[in-house]
Amino acid sequence: MKWRASLAVRQAPLRGLALVAQKVPQAALFVLMVFSSASLGLGVGVLLLPVVVTAVRRLADRSRRLARDWSGVTIARPYRELPAPEPGLAGRWGHCLRLLQDPATMRDTLWTITDPVIGTVLALLPAALLVYGLEGLVLPFVWDPLVSAGYHDHYAGLIDVSGERGLRTWLMPLLGAGFIGLGLRTGPLLLTVHARFTRKLLGPRIDDRLASRVGHLTRTREEVMDSQVSELRRIERDLHDGAQARLVAMGMNLSTVGRLLDTDPDAARALLLETRESSSKALGELRDLVRGIHPPVLSDRGLGDAVRALALDSPLPVEVVVELPGVLDAPVESAAYFAVGELLTNVAKHARAEHVWIDVRHEREALRISVGDDGCGGASVAAGTGLGGIERRIAAFDGVLSVSSPQGGPTMATMEIPCALFSPKTSSCSEKGSSGF
């Protein structure tokens, strides 16, 4: 951690210069934004405005990413989800109006003209202090040529660089070293101030966050309801085609046995044996069905031991670390259990891994589960490997899934689900009953 902090201090002036270099395209985009908005009625703006807005948002996204990576300041994207523009001039016109009606577009425009002024000062100051400090280090050694050439200035407002050398001349390196140290020490702080200023302009407002939150919960609720309907249909199908069919066949066999007991005991005995075998299969199917709804080990032993049981069933060696000094709500445990099971299945099918590790812990009021492997990598939520289903499953609890999986590996999938951790003695969760199967 110390070397990272030292690296951040040394890189702060260069990072500030990189931010300053971005201010020129920002100012240019402001001019284009004003022109395209003013020329909507002429038809030119209808074609130009979406392109300019897209460019502004990409530049704003870059600033959000740099604020997160360089200063640890997270800035959420505040943009509304807009439908695709309809064909024709009327459709493009409507799309432009929706872009302009998005409050984030106005704030982005304000950022393109405000940040080049205020942001430039904050970002450039560390590098400017370094340059000014270097000037103090160099001036005593080029004093005579400068004075002979008619140079006249005051360094730091204290030392007159125009006359004969004196004691104050050799104080300049000390002042220069001080300016260099000040530039290095204040660099990360000024970058953080710049990042927070960026968040003030580019971050979502409270009403935007509430609207986004409501929209997210609405979508996840609909997805959960669809998932529940599909799950109920699966259970109904499994019962109808499996256990129910076997129970019906058993009833018919027992009726036949009743008729054959007196006339053909051997045939009756064979049917009884067949019926007993069918009952065992029906019981196994019901156990599998119950395990798919809510596994008994989850009810009996909690999430930690349930995850360990999943690890034992995996065909790969799995290292499990669990730090849960309490119990969770049953719905959260169930969602986390099945999500871990799906991740282990994905690893076994697609990762070509030799080792898997799982870390389960509760920190910062959230359940955090990380599943990593040393496989080939390349996993993504959009790849259709079940990660999208996991994301939808935990989204019902306001959970998030992040996946880091570069080509060649390793892969790390991390789930975070906001939830409370209860004491086993005080939580109602500890009184969960065990299934009879």
Task: Give 61's pLDDT tier (boundaries 50, 70, 90).
Answer: very high
Can you give the pLDDT at residue 90? Answer: 79
* pLDDT tens sequence across 262-284: 777 878 778 788 877 877 777 76
Which residue reads 């500890």 in tokens?
430
Task: Note the pTM of the prediction, 2 decimals.
Answer: 0.50
Tell whether the model's pLDDT for residue 162 goes beyond 90.
Answer: no
**Measured between alpha carbons, how far is 191 from 124 in angstroms, rounded to an integer?**
10
Indicate the burial class of 191 (C-beta count within 10 angstroms; 0-12, 13-18, 19 or more): buried
Phi, psi at 169, each rounded to 5°: -60, -40
**Superfamily covering domain 297-431:** Histidine kinase-like ATPase, C-terminal domain (3.30.565.10)
Q: Which one is predicted more confidently, 112 or 288?
A: 112
Can you give the pLDDT at residue 298? Answer: 77
Can you give the pLDDT at residue 359? Answer: 93
Task: Give 119's pLDDT tier (boundaries 50, 70, 90).
Answer: confident
Tell whether the model's pLDDT for residue 390 goes beyond 50.
Answer: yes
Q: Which one is predicted more confidently, 260 or 221?
A: 260
Can you give the pLDDT at residue 120? Answer: 85
Tell whether the model's pLDDT for residue 219 goes beyond 80.
Answer: no
Q: Identify whether 331 is preceded by a cis peptide bond (ω within 30 of 0).
A: no
Contact 379, 412 (CB under 8 A): no
Phi, psi at 422, each rounded to 5°: -105, 150
Counting every residue written for the chain, the total comes to: 437
Can you give the pLDDT at residue 204? Answer: 81
Can you give the pLDDT at residue 230? Answer: 64
Query: How is the chain split into domains, by residue range?
Result: 2-202, 217-293, 297-431
Tell whether the model's pLDDT for residue 46 goes beyond 60.
Answer: yes
Can you give the pLDDT at residue 427? Answer: 46
Q: What b/e string do you get for 2-26 counting C-beta neighbours within 10 Å, with b at 16 or more?
A: eeeeeebbebbbebbeebbebbeeb
Tell whether the model's pLDDT for residue 336 goes beyond 70.
Answer: yes
Pick the range with the lowest mean pLDDT from 13-22, 131-140, 418-427.
Answer: 418-427
Task: Give 368's pLDDT tier (boundaries 50, 70, 90).
Answer: very high
3-state secondary structure of 159: strand
Cα separations in angstroms, 54 against 48, 82, 245, 392: 10, 13, 59, 28
Tell whether the model's pLDDT for residue 287 goes beyond 60.
Answer: yes
The secondary structure of 176-244 as a DSSP string is: HHHHHHHHHHHHHHHHHHHHHHHHHHHSPPHHHHHHHHHHHHHHHHHHHHHHHHHHHHHHHHHIIIIIH
Which two tokens mark 364? 């910062």
Mean pLDDT of the chain: 78
Can you give the pLDDT at residue 146? Answer: 64
